[in-house]
Amino acid sequence: MKKIAVIPGDGIGKEVMSACLKVLEAFDFPFEYVFAEAGDETKEKTGEALPDETLQICKESSAVLFGAAGETAADVIVRLRLELETFANLRPAKSYKGVKCLFDNVDIVVVRENTECLYKGLEFEVKKGVTEGIRIITEKASERIARYAFELARRDGRKRVTALHKANVMKKTCGLFRDVCRRVARDYDDIEFSDYYIDAGCMYLVLDPWRFDVIVTTNMFGDIVSDLIAGLVGGLGLAPSANIGEKYAIFEPVHGSAPDIAGKGIANPSAMILSSTLMLRHFGYISEAERIEKALEKTIAEGKTTPDLGGNLKTDEMVEEIIKNIEE
């Protein structure tokens, strides 16, 4: 029996989490769901966005399913990533039939280093009107994320890994990252490797996204690029993510708490459901993950979706259609 920490969080996090669990409960997984609180509402109630009790539940679990956090996102999900040492952030983006998007047949995974770079938060005020931020890039973390990207490509039958960096300007930090990626690539002669400057890579993503398969990059660049590729395929409503470490894993949709539609029952559950299929794949339930993904894909193609995807269904109604397609 695997213990899964479930943190619905704020806003539509509660709605999409409920939808996701209904889909998972259509199967007989040996999971024990343990609910925990975190986010804006929790901070208002307890004074802490991520209470110690919640953190302890996460550390006692095999994985964390996380919904959304509002203004306290940095205090919750960023801290969770650090506390659970989840070094790899996976952000897949895939175009689905029936979704209005810029390109068809796009299927890209961003592998984002999750522990260092500018996101370590080492910022200081030097003097009034002058601030500085320290960017940390290490050989150890760069090699770990590069090797993870190549292993993912090999495991999932993908053909190419592309590193994105800015080594022509940040010669030391990005130079180290680029050089480590090139060195690791030599151990994977079955996988094609290339690297681009981040600005050129973003241009190519917009002009020719099919040249990319797996992208590996640093923390801040990965954050930006993963939202860019989500925009290519229809937006954050279809963008799942996984945070993977040696011991722990966190699975969450990329979208936020969306307070403007929270409580209306029209939140798109797709990203949360796809995040759960990443969890299933992490645990080795490949065929079950594929059944859910195909059922979701069919539901979207039939137009039985929430308003953001062009349909007129409520969240629960879309989930019913997904479960119906799973059973069929």
Phi, psi at 216, each rounded to 5°: -120, 135
Q: Which of 227, 285, 314, 324 is catalytic?
A: 227
pLDDT on residue 100: 87
pLDDT in tens, 119-169: 888 999 999 999 999 999 999 999 999 999 999 999 999 999 999 999 999
Q: Which of 199, 208, 264, 316 is catalytic?
A: 199
Give mean pLDDT, residues 239-252. Answer: 96
Q: Known catalytic residue: 324?
A: no
Residue 74 has pLDDT above 90, yes or no: no
pLDDT on residue 221: 97
pLDDT in tens, 202-211: 999 999 999 9
Q: Which of 166, 196, 298, 308 is catalytic?
A: 166
Q: What's the token pair of residue 309? A: 């995807």
Task: State the pTM of this model.
Answer: 0.91
pLDDT interval class at 82 (50, 70, 90): confident
**CA pseudo-torsion sign 13, 14, 16, 20:** positive
Cα–Cα distance, 127 to 135 (Å, whole number):
19
Q: Which of 10, 195, 223, 308 is catalytic?
A: 223
Q: Which of 119, 148, 196, 248 is catalytic?
A: 119
Domains and CATH numbers, the chain: 1-92+240-328 (3.40.718.10), 102-232 (3.40.718.10)
Who contacts 52 (Cβ-Cβ below 8 Å, separation ≥6)?
A: none
Q: Across-strand partners of 228?
A: none
Q: Known catalytic residue: 199?
A: yes
Q: Known catalytic residue: 223?
A: yes
| Cα–Cα distance list, 207 to 202, 212, 232 (Å) | 9, 11, 10
pLDDT interval class at 306 (50, 70, 90): very high
- Contact predicate 108/227, CB 8 Å: no
Q: Known catalytic residue: 104?
A: no
Q: Known catalytic residue: 166?
A: yes
pLDDT on residue 153: 97
Q: Which of these ranges, 21-30, 75-84, 143-152, 190-199, has the smallest mean pLDDT?
A: 75-84
Residue 328 has pLDDT above 90, yes or no: no
Phi, psi at 197, each rounded to 5°: -65, 145
- What distance, in Å, lies between the first and last C-alpha atoms of the chain? 27
